[in-house]
Structure 1
Amino acid sequence: MTGTLLARRTAFGATALGGGRRWRPSPFLVFGGLFWLVMSLAFWRVPMCCDFGQHAAVVERLKDDLLHPAHPMADLPGDGSAYYSPYAVAQGLFAKVTGLAGWQVVKLSGPLNLLVLLTGIGRFVRGLTPRPWAPVLALFAMVLLWGTRMAWWSGYLGLMSMTGNLGYPSTFAIGLAFWAWAWAGSLAKGLRRGLWPYVGLGTLCGLVLLIHPISSVAAVLGVVAFAASDRRAWEWAGLGAWAATGLTAAAVAALWPYFSVFSLVGDESVDWIHRQLYTEMPQRFWLALLGLPALWLRLRRDRRDPLVLMFALECAVVAYGWVSGHYTYGRILGLTLVPLQFALAIELAAPRPWGWRRGALAGATALGACVGFFQIQAGAVVPRALDPIGFDQPPRWPGYGWAVGHMGRGDVVLTDGYRPTRSVPGLGANLVAPAWPDASLAEEVRNRRLAAVRAYLAPDSTRAERSAIVRRYEVRWLLLGPDQKVPPEAVVVDWSRRTGEVLARVGGATPANAPLIG
């Protein structure tokens, strides 16, 4: 034993003096590092759009009051809002300490989230195979092998979708999910002893549950798949150890003071939004089916293969979402592709010589990756100025700094525009009616507020009706589309040269020279 240690030290010493083998970075360190740089820059060049404003608003509210934040989008209490996760609280604390605006913190979170994701992928794949190129192939399969129809949603990790959602909690949670799967894999192989590793895994699962509850469904299913692949789990001792993981996860989630994650079980308020996840599924995901042969080979080798079990469990949950009408479960579709993509990558990373079947699979995969890249994903990393073909580009929403710059912090804005309702709260203003359902606000109250906005903007509304709405909701500003008429009692303050939208002051609003928010 002593001789072995001395030999290792001698080898390290010889390397340090240049007399031994030099350290070489792994392929994943090289290509993963390049990917991190390119995607971070791609994410940074896309302006705030889609759900970005929602997450920036969460940081703004926590920056104002870390212990009792207001509703993310309205001048209302935020008690019970599931947006106030440990991840968001850490962002709010960072914003409070640094003085950065919410949107700046979300932008900075993108590269950090991507780092957690990449390291999680590397650790997970290395737990499945020692083949050095497998993590590289898994990464590129994950971002390219989707379909030929855009799949843009939080938690979907195609190249194009990542340009918008890298800064979201879902990306961080999925990165932690990969770490949880790697951890579960080491436990299933018996590489760790004692009860504490199971408790540690449960703590990590509980954290994922709090950060992004719907992604945690896929994360937990992956852990269950590894537990089922562990033959000791079918014995009393092994079953008790894995049960400690589940109990710890539940305890961590139950102890979080900002909201009760268990109250979200059975919540149907956002199912109608997610129904579209089930439309055009073949077009959105068919390239990932290239991994079916590889998954079939794994099944033939081992009927308890964790990737096979993970895929079966996740498909069952997605199917349940469709049959039951709880379409929110479709949010795990992006992670349902992971077993297919990663099984394919591991199969293709096998050392040569290859047989004709593996060669054909490699050729089909290369063709599929090219189709996915040039058909859908290329615009994510190829700027318009360097684009010789005209690839589809990520959304480029207009900014609303021109409007919010006239407002005081926390002012209430009345608008029904799709983009301003999702952007303005991220700059520190409040809406009369929040754009999304939230557990901290009863849905009937939100619907009543939406009806008030429609009534105010109706062409046949009277001045008395509009004044009553202004007083009831303490409205200070109107943000109107170019085709909407400005009420006679409102004072136009500014307008957007790009969109034609108009900002008008009502109800004793703050002066037009109020400090810029954010």
Structure 2
Amino acid sequence: MTRTAQTEVGLLVRRTARGATALRGGAPWRPTPYQVFGGLFWLVLCLASWRVPMCCDFGQHAAVVERLKASLLHPAHPTADLPGEGSPFYSPYTVAQGAFARVTGLAGWEVVRLSAPLNLLVLLTGIGRFVRVLAPRRPFAPVCALLAMVLLWGTERAWSSGYLGLMSMTGNLGYPSTFAIGLTFWAWALTGTLAGGIGGPVRYIGPSGLRSLSGYKGLGVLYGLILLVHPITASAAALGAVAFVAGWQRGWRAAVAARWAITGAAALMVAHLWPYFDVLALPGDHSMDAMHRRLYEGVPGHFWLALIGVPALWLRARRSRRDPLVLMFALDCLVVAYGWISGHYTYGRILGLALVAPQFALAIELAAARPWPVWRRALGAVAAVGACVGFLTVQAGAVVPRSLDPVSFDQPPRWPSYDWAARHIKPGEVVIADGYYAARLIPAYGPNLAAPVWPDAGLDERERVRRLAAVRGYLDPTSTRAGRSAVVRRYHVRWLLLTRWSRVPEEATVVDWSRRTGEVLARVRA
């Protein structure tokens, strides 16, 4: 078979199979380095994430599944006894989780736990495909990229949804953000293939249909899905798409521009047709900006090790000013800066994905065939030292259990469990909780809060502030029984979950208490 004939077979064919080998299905399958390393990484991180108890935003995501399990078409507000119409938490991803919970009878927190292996699989396969588009002839590039992505962050713990450091991932694997980031890597890989082909701006067209009109439409549907699953990740996904199209697309004719316009239109159409909330209205919502200001605090300590990859980006920029990773990094930095200057701090959530460009540029550079020039050996040595520093100062505790820890590595958060309280409270009943942990975790079991802890675009922020003020008034030691009764009636409160420092009102009856935290569960009547 000639080289031309081999090319026409399709995009993924590397060699031909002859004779009996062809009849048996071709050459024996051999795993790539990334398949071996990625499989081991998947197993280790799934086990590591399973040992981390519910904490942080886990309660919110489990509560969303609980509401969808109760009513798939008309779910209530994720954490309050209010309508849930317009809440961006009800995405295709969480609706699928809710349907799974209804079919299996599993609790919301169990479904979030079980989502972690699937999300990690989507993420790892997306990384592998993305790096192969950037560096098709460097088999160890995906391995280096994965190591850089999980280790080269900083020397202070950065724990947030959407951050891909080893430590942060142990707690966030089951979240929609992880699934959306995995889809983003797949979308970037397909965008790069459509824009210029594998490995760069090469006009490589096979019969796979990737350059057909349906390919552009399908890519638009994928970007629309990312937009619905996690809108802020979609911002970074769109910037990456712009970088690949601007960097690799050649021969801008009317037909080419029309195809990319179809991709954008398909994405917007998918987003517009989703019935649960209007995702296109979210850019004007500022309700979550205040809580995201902290993302900009301590940025150097959280991310400085990723700067080791900047020289690799500079080298790519010297080779081509239109390099997609260079353009992606520049666009991400501009959006992060805009978030800080404008006060729209929610855009700081793309900080994690902004590191992808320097991390992956470094990985691709270090995966080059040997012999290495002096500068590449120096860059590799600095990267190795940086990875060791990142692992030993922040990331090691994610995978090293305390029982096997010789030096007391920093461990993932270990919040208390509220199983003891949840077994007394029926799903949908309203709770006043004054503890930091309790207010964030008790909704995971099905109960509602009198005052939601998290802002939500589907709930008027003024209503949330009023409820928070009412709860503070109820818990005030100087409050009267009449005032407390008014709050109970107004918000249909049935339970109090109080810290050991709080006074239990005289009209409440203690039902149970936690031997770990000293918190008290009391039943209350108006």
Aligning the two structures, in what range does the TM-score lie when normalised by the shorter sequence?
A: over 0.9
Identify the residue that residue 514 of structure 1 maps to in structure 2: none
- 2: CA distance between counterparts of 1:406 and 1:14? 64
> How many percent of aligned residue pairs carry the same amino acid?
68
Identify the residue that residue 480 of structure 1 maps to in structure 2: 498
**Count of matched residue positions in the alignment of Structure 1 and Structure 2:** 506
Q: Does 1:10 align with 2:28?
A: no
- 1: CA distance between counterparts of 2:20 and 2:315? 40
1:203-237 CA distances to partner (integer Å, 9 max, x unpaired)? 10000000000010000110111110134363322
Superposed displacement of residue 21, structure 1: 6.4
Assess if the C-alpha contact under 8 Å between 2:163 and 2:352 holds in 1: yes
Assess if the C-alpha contact under 8 Å between 1:232 and 1:238 holds in 2: no
Identify the residue that residue 397 of structure 2 maps to in structure 1: 379
Identify the residue that residue 156 of structure 1 maps to in structure 2: 163
Assess if the C-alpha contact under 8 Å between 1:202 and 1:248 holds in 2: yes
Identify the residue that residue 455 of structure 2 maps to in structure 1: 437
Superposed displacement of residue 11, structure 1: 5.9
Superposed displacement of residue 263, structure 1: 1.2
- 2: CA distance between counterparts of 1:281 and 1:12? 59
Q: Does 1:170 align with 2:177?
A: yes
Q: Relative to 1, partners in 2 of residues 1:304 and 1:2: Cα closer, same or farther, differing over 3 Å? A: closer
Q: Indicate which of 335, 341, 349 corresponds to 1:323.
A: 341
Superposed displacement of residue 477, structure 1: 0.4
- 2: CA distance between counterparts of 1:173 and 1:445? 30
Identify the residue that residue 513 of structure 1 maps to in structure 2: none
1:455-476 CA distances to partner (integer Å, 9 max, x unpaired)? 0000100011111111111110
Q: Does 1:62 align with 2:106?
A: no
Identify the residue that residue 459 of structure 1 maps to in structure 2: 477
Assess if the C-alpha contact under 8 Å between 2:428 and 2:447 holds in 1: yes
Superposed displacement of residue 290, structure 1: 0.6
- 1: CA distance between counterparts of 2:470 and 2:281? 28
- The secondary structure found in structure 2 opposite 1:232 is coil
Q: Indicate which of 504, 508, 511 corresponds to 1:493.
A: 511
- 2: CA distance between counterparts of 1:307 and 1:178? 13
Q: Indicate which of 282, 288, 312 corresponds to 2:330.
A: 312
Q: Does 1:112 align with 2:130?
A: no
Q: Does 1:76 align with 2:82?
A: yes
Q: Relative to 1, partners in 2 of residues 1:249 and 1:27: Cα closer, same or farther, differing over 3 Å? A: same
Superposed displacement of residue 102, structure 1: 0.3
Identify the residue that residue 104 of structure 2 maps to in structure 1: 98
- 2: CA distance between counterparts of 1:425 and 1:23? 48
- 2: CA distance between counterparts of 1:268 and 1:334? 21
Q: Does 1:187 align with 2:205?
A: no
Give the AA of the match of 1:184. Answer: T
Q: Relative to 1, partners in 2 of residues 1:136 and 1:431: Cα closer, same or farther, differing over 3 Å? A: same
Q: Indicate which of 40, 45, 49 corresponds to 1:43.
A: 49
Q: Does 1:88 align with 2:94?
A: yes
Give the AA of the match of 1:258. Answer: Y
Identify the residue that residue 422 of structure 1 maps to in structure 2: 440
- The secondary structure found in structure 2 opposite 1:351 is coil
Q: Relative to 1, partners in 2 of residues 1:61 and 1:233: Cα closer, same or farther, differing over 3 Å? A: farther
- 2: CA distance between counterparts of 1:9 and 1:158? 42
Give the gaps of 5 or more residues in structure 1: 509-518
Superposed displacement of residue 267, structure 1: 1.1
Identify the residue that residue 25 of structure 1 maps to in structure 2: 31
- The secondary structure found in structure 1 opposite 2:284 is coil
- 2: CA distance between counterparts of 1:332 and 1:12? 52
Assess if the C-alpha contact under 8 Å between 2:21 and 2:27 holds in 1: no
Give the AA of the match of 1:417. Answer: G
Superposed displacement of residue 326, structure 1: 0.4
Superposed displacement of residue 379, structure 1: 0.2
Q: Indicate which of 226, 229, 252 corresponds to 2:244.
A: 226
Identify the residue that residue 197 of structure 1 maps to in structure 2: 215
TM, length-normalised to structure 2: 0.94
- 2: CA distance between counterparts of 1:325 and 1:440? 21
- The secondary structure found in structure 2 opposite 1:396 is coil
Assess if the C-alpha contact under 8 Å between 2:159 and 2:168 holds in 1: yes
Superposed displacement of residue 243, structure 1: 1.1
Assess if the C-alpha contact under 8 Å between 2:195 and 2:245 holds in 1: yes
Give the AA of the match of 1:23. Answer: W
Superposed displacement of residue 199, structure 1: 1.1
Superposed displacement of residue 13, structure 1: 1.5
Assess if the C-alpha contact under 8 Å between 1:15 and 1:21 holds in 2: no
- 1: CA distance between counterparts of 2:483 and 2:20? 81
Assess if the C-alpha contact under 8 Å between 2:52 and 2:170 holds in 1: yes
Between 1:170-179 and 1:188-197, the stretch displaced more is 188-197
- The secondary structure found in structure 2 opposite 1:238 is helix
Assess if the C-alpha contact under 8 Å between 1:492 and 1:502 holds in 2: yes
- The secondary structure found in structure 2 opposite 1:265 is helix
- 1: CA distance between counterparts of 2:402 and 2:361? 34
- 2: CA distance between counterparts of 1:268 and 1:23? 52
Give the gaps of 5 or more residues in structure 2: 10-14, 197-202
Give the AA of the match of 1:162. Answer: M
- The secondary structure found in structure 2 opposite 1:152 is coil
Identify the residue that residue 200 of structure 2 maps to in structure 1: none
1:344-364 CA distances to partner (integer Å, 9 max, x unpaired)? 000000000001100000000
Superposed displacement of residue 303, structure 1: 1.0
Assess if the C-alpha contact under 8 Å between 1:110 and 1:166 holds in 2: yes
1:301-341 CA distances to partner (integer Å, 9 max, x unpaired)? 11111111111111110010011010100000000000000
Assess if the C-alpha contact under 8 Å between 1:15 and 1:22 holds in 2: no
Give the AA of the match of 1:459. Answer: P
Superposed displacement of residue 16, structure 1: 5.5
Give the AA of the match of 1:101. Answer: A
- 1: CA distance between counterparts of 2:482 and 2:509? 17
For the aligned residue pairs, the C-alpha RMSD in angstroms reads 1.8
Q: Indicate which of 351, 354, 377 corresponds to 1:333.
A: 351
Give the AA of the match of 1:34. Answer: L
Q: Indicate which of 489, 492, 499 corresponds to 1:471.
A: 489
Q: Relative to 1, partners in 2 of residues 1:233 and 1:219: Cα closer, same or farther, differing over 3 Å? A: farther
Q: Does 1:209 align with 2:220?
A: no
Give the AA of the match of 1:424. Answer: I
Identify the residue that residue 383 of structure 2 maps to in structure 1: 365
